[in-house]
């Protein structure tokens, strides 16, 4: 049976009731696939050898807390398993980048890596939307204070966010009065030393920040609308947003149908589009989530669809 190696965060940090990587593992195990897991720091390459991982072969127990048993630990060459799934959560920092380079070397040696490490490097999650300006809100990428002030003067109600944040971290809204704009911009840009993104505020955030999953270029028919709670401007589940599954809107489908085939052809088997109202706000490729929330609320088995697509790629 196929052997799958998951490059991920420490297994003991998984929240199995909502973790999408766990959902993938559970579906794969139900089909008899062999599960291996490692962390990025356990990848090694040396001249004359192959990219290997000090990995653990695991079996799922069905217990919510002690959810896996470690069956063995071994040095595994990435090219000798059937698929490597890169599921390390952001931030996309230098260490993440170095991991993708090791994965690219593993590909040269014959490994099958999903998502493609080259595609991960080419699609930073905040900046990837720049390729599709017809779908996005008014957007500015800069570290120049004057440009930020001019953007606010034009749009009056804006969102400022770091390019390397996750889970809603570091997101600020500045309204028409411009209160604290200078302080927020100076902090996020580190006094002009770091580039940020500034966007026009989208009132449709009140109805949720929708996660639309693309699996091998095809949209899952339900999105998870992450709805801000308690006066928050952020819908992220990590920031306390409430996740409500709903059918894709006409606009959701149009955006997905435009981007899906393009991104799949670049080696992105799994993508999470973030859409507020009818505007695309992010293209998530590092470790897209929301599998279990959508499945639990709608009955549509996202993990099953994903493993189907992975098996089809391996067979192709």
Active site residues: 126, 161, 211, 226, 234, 274, 282, 284
Instruction: Judge residue 240's burial from the number of C-beta atoms within 10 Å of its C-beta, 0-12 exposed, 13-18 middle, 19 or more buried.
Output: middle
131 Cβ neighbours under 8 A, 6+ residues apart? none
- With CA atoms as reference, report the closest residue to 114 among 264, 13, 276, 273: 264
State phi, psi for 312 to the nearest 5 degrees.
-65, -40
115 Cβ neighbours under 8 A, 6+ residues apart? 86, 267, 268, 269, 270, 285, 286
Residues present in the chain in total: 316
299 vs 222: CA distance, rounded Å: 10
């Amino acid at each position: 049976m196929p052997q799958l190696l998951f490059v991920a965060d420490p297994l003991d940090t998984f929240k199995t009731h909502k973790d999408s990587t766990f959902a993938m593992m559970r579906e794969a195990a139900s089909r008899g696939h062999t599960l291996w897991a490692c962390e990025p720091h356990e990848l090694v390459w040396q001249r004359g050898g192959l990219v290997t991982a000090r990995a653990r072969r695991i079996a799922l127990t069905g217990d919510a807390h002690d959810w896996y048993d470690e069956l063995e630990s071994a040095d595994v060459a990435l090219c000798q398993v059937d698929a490597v799934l890169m599921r390390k959560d952001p931030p996309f920092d230098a260490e993440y980048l170095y991991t993708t380079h090791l994965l690219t070397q593993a590909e040269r040696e014959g490994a099958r890596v999903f998502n493609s490490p080259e595609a991960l490097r080419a699609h930073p999650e905040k900046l990837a939307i720049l390729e599709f300006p017809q779908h996005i809100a008014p957007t500015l990428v800069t570290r120049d204070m004057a440009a930020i002030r001019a953007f606010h003067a034009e749009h009056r109600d804006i969102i400022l966010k770091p390019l390397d944040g996750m889970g809603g971290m570091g997101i600020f809204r500045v309204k028409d009065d411009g209160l604290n704009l200078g302080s927020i911009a100076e902090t996020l840009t580190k006094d002009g030393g770091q580039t940020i993104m500034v966007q026009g505020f989208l009132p449709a955030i009140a109805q949720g920040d929708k996660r639309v999953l693309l699996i091998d270029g095809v949209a899952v028919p339900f999105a998870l609308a992450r709805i801000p709670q308690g006066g928050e401007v952020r819908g992220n589940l990590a920031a306390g947003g409430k996740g409500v599954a709903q059918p894709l809107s006409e606009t959701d489908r149009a955006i997905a149908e435009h981007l899906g085939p393009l991104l799949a052809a670049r080696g992105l088997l799994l993508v999470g589009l973030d859409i507020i109202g009818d505007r695309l706000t992010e293209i998530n490729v590092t470790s897209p989530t929301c599998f279990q929330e959508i499945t639990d609320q709608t009955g549509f088995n996202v993990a099953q669809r994903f493993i189907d697509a992975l098996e089809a790629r391996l067979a192709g």
